[in-house]
Structure 1
Amino acid sequence: MTLDTFIDIHSASLNKRGEELCGDKVKYLKTGTKTTVVLSDGLGSGVKANILATLTTEILITMLNADVPLEEVLKTVIGTLPICRVRKIAYSTFTILWVDGHTNHFKVINFDNPAPVFCHRGRVQPLAMETQEILGRKLQSAEGQLDRGDFLGAISDGVLYAGMGMTMNFGWGWDNIAQYVEGVIGSQAHTARSIVKRVVDHTFELYQGQVGDDATMVGLYMRQRHPLMIFTGPPLEEGQDETFVNRLLEFEGRKVVCGGTTGNIVASYLGEMVEMDLSTMRRELPPIGTLSGVDLVTEGILTLSKATEYIRQCHCDLGRLRFDNNGAYLLAREILQADSIHFLVGQSINEFYQNPLLPKNISIRRSLIEDLVAILRRFQKEVTVEYC
């Protein structure tokens, strides 16, 4: 994968009417070498289906991430899932989407879910699925190549059959879904979220608000990477100020400065003054500033702390971030809009903010950054930290 290319992933679900839990489950894991996505559909709905789907996704993700041979993984899952005696079908179906992190070559494994949707250069291309039998059960697989602008999605039955018995006799149908995805990709800004959300929203409309089955879609969209660098805290050695300001200003991506002293270091290098935007000041938060070539300038400790709180509350979902034109909201938005975040953390300690119970080499700033990084990584954000 080229450094400026990013695999954007998003999933959305509709619960069957009257159910608090969804019987579908999506889980994905990104590492430096591969991206693995699993969608599982548990038989029935509610708690039992949710448990079955969760069990299936956990087994698959854990074993695939441990580099267990694919055939052994599939044998384990199929051997674990019993057959419904009445309906003669598996208690849980699944789709695996796997992408090589270096080449963007992908593989799809499908077990009794609707066929995946692959859109290449704006047009849906049916995948040439091959059938293999494992422990008496038939699975289908296909391979291909993801290029920038391509979309690969998996759906559960609830999407396929939306509208059945209402506006359509046999539901939405795969061909109509594929055509709808083409239309979305051809008509609006492209993110995995925008594509998946449009499909799931239309599914809800076809059910006329009375969702007859758990409905889930997960999509991978190959797009340009959105990198972010956050420079916070003055470097330990004063002579290094210019080096790290240069690193920030030469960074190809969004640039944020957090901290009054850090902002003044950058301003001095640029021969400017930090100009304050008083409309962004709040009782508990200082205002943001402006500097040439920097996308956002905020205060440090208080803003970082509040932004971390916002990100935790919205579960790292930009769509759930509550708007308020203050420094912490703007910082949280920059972080959530980014695909990869590089923190450049100066270790010079401001005694005013130092906790006397902490050792001198552990600052409140560093603790805050470590807390924020842990949250972001938990939600699969690509994060690196460099102390200076």
Structure 2
Amino acid sequence: MGVTVDVAYKSLNKFSEILCGDKVEILHTGDSNIMILADGMGSGVKANILSTMTSKILGTMFLNGATLEECVETIVETLPVCQVRQVAYSTFSILQVFNSGEAYLVEFDNPGCIFIRNGSLVSIPRNSRVIRDKQINEYRFHVKKGDALVLMSDGTIHAGVGQLLNFGWQWDELAAYAVKQYRLTVSAVRLASALSRACDELYQFRPGDDTTVAVMRVIDRKPVHLMTGPPKSQDGDEEIVRDFLSGDDGVKRIVCGGTSANIVSRMTGKKLDVSLDYNDPDIPPIAFIDGIELVTEGVLTLNRVLQLLKRYVTNESVSEEFFLELDRQNGASMVAKMIIEDCTELHLYVGRAINSAYQNPGLPFDLGIRQNLVEQLKQTAGEMGKKVTVAYY
């Protein structure tokens, strides 16, 4: 079936700036995953506009089959010109990994990609081209399961300049640190956060430049099936459970909701056991069904899951506190951790029944609590780069 990728990034705003001058765009095609990192000139609003325009233009053109020359020419002709330096400037890196294992990398003035395989650095054969007076580095190579590729803005190699380090964090030193963290971490988000945190420390927590680390890790596809809510009619119990249990042995399954868990237990003939351990007073305990990775309570748990995922999406995940919370043994943290670190595609199986315990029966379903949580979960997981599908019953 080929490979897929685990993607994560972390950005630090230049100290005192509200907006980041770097922008990461994550895109999917039918046979590949694309990550674009653009770094706008300067900082603040202007840089944010430049990087956003660059990433959006490149992403749109790539998805529509444009050549590299067409992309670069469009960027040069489209970006506004700086009144001070009289240049329209935004650096960028584009990384495309195909399901077949082929990879394509383009770099313009960003620090070089760090390519790690089997715990060691790997050099990539480079082809340099000049397009519209700009030198573009182009790479074509193959990846395999376990590889990690790190894209960066130049804020990473400027970390510590004139403070803890005279000349900043040199690329070789940064790459060596990335290899060390690669050996310790299990996911793209933890590797990106570790590198970002190190940059922040070198800046003494007052970044002198926008700093972004974007990581793409090559992995096998990791589908997760999540079922929540009973079907609108009891006649639909068999259908929702059949679809929820479909797929090969590599699928991980989560049930969120007591009624849902009872339906799965009844339809499969497998016993439902509820844990008596209250690891978090705000989150009901988990339960167990043989063959199901995780069984939790419904709305309260999903609400906390959504909060954690939104913190991740808004780049708050760099803190140690976030990972400590993600590693807690309560239902919400366990669901969020699985979606963030052990999922490439999320399939949601949602029952439409009204639960009078937490919802006004007079409201239409699409205004209900569970529906709202599911829609937010779909959107947030999509922003994380996950492929998301929703089926209603």
TM over 0.5: yes
Residue number among 360, 373, 383 corresponding to 2:378 in the alignment = 373
Equivalence for 2:222: 226
User: In the alignment, which of 335, 344, 357 is matched to residue 339 of structure 1?
Assistant: 344
Q: How many residues align?
A: 382
Could you tell me how far 1:7 is from its partner in structure 2? 0.8
Post-superposition shift, 1:280?
Answer: 6.0
Give the corresponding residue for 2:387.
382
325-334 or 249-258: which moved more? Answer: 325-334
In structure 2, which of residues 127, 136, 139 is the aligned counterpart of residue 139 of structure 1? 136
Instruction: Tell me the SS of whatever aligns to 1:98.
Output: strand
Closer, same or farther: CA 83–155 of 1 in aligned 2, 3 Å: same
CA distance in 1, matches of 2:12, 2:310: 23
How far did 1:188 drift?
0.9
Amino acid at match of 1:340: E
> What is the correspondence of 1:30-109 to structure 2 with a 5 Å cutoff?
30-81=28-79, 91-100=89-98, 102-109=99-106
Q: More deviation in 375-384 or 107-116? A: 375-384
Deviation at 1:306, TM superposition (A): 5.5
1:118 and 1:313 map into 2 onto residues whose CA distance is 28
Distance 1:11 1:310 in 2: 16
Closer, same or farther: CA 331–115 of 1 in aligned 2, 3 Å: closer
- Partners of 2:313 and 2:189 lie apart in 1 by 15
Shift of 1:242: 5.2
Cα displacement string for residues 79-128 of structure 1 (whole angstroms, at most 9, x for unaligned residues) = 2246668768652211111222x323121111122222222333222322
Q: Deviations over 1:57-79 (max 9, x none)?
A: 22212222233333212210022
Residue identity matched to 1:355: P
CA contact 1:276–1:287 (8 Å) conserved in 2: yes
**Contact map agreement 2:274 2:285 (CA 8 A) in 1:** no
Trace 1:284-323 onto structure 2 (pairs within 5 A).
287-301=285-299, 303-304=301-302, 307-308=305-306, 311-312=309-310, 315=313, 319=317, 320=322
CA distance in 2, matches of 1:377, 1:209: 30
Where structure 1 has 5 or more consecutive residues not aligned to the other structure, the ranges are: none
Question: Contact 1:316/1:376 (CA < 8 Å) preserved in 2?
Answer: no
Q: 2:125 aligns with which of 117, 128, 137?
A: 128
Q: After the TM superposition, which residues 17-32 of structure 1 pair with which residues of structure 2 at under 5 Å, given as runs? A: 17-32=15-30
Deviation, 1:312, is 4.3
Distance 1:205 1:370, change over 3 A: closer
Q: How far apart are 1:29 and its partner, in Å?
A: 1.6
Residues 1:164 and 1:227: Cα distance change in structure 2 (over 3 Å): same
Residue type at the aligned position of 2:377: L
Give deviations 1:330-369, integer Å, cap 9, x for gaps.
Answer: 444444443222223345666775733428x998655653
In 2: Cα distance, 1:169 partner to 1:385 partner:
52
Q: Structure 2: state its 5+ residue gaps.
A: none
Identity of matched residues, %: 36
Match of 1:275 in 2: 274
Question: Residues 6, 354 of structure 1: CA spacing in aligned structure 2 closer, same or farther, 3 A cutoff?
Answer: farther
Superposed CA deviations along residues 253-301 of structure 1, whole A, max 9, x for unmatched, are 3222233332223323335244353626857x65433222223223445
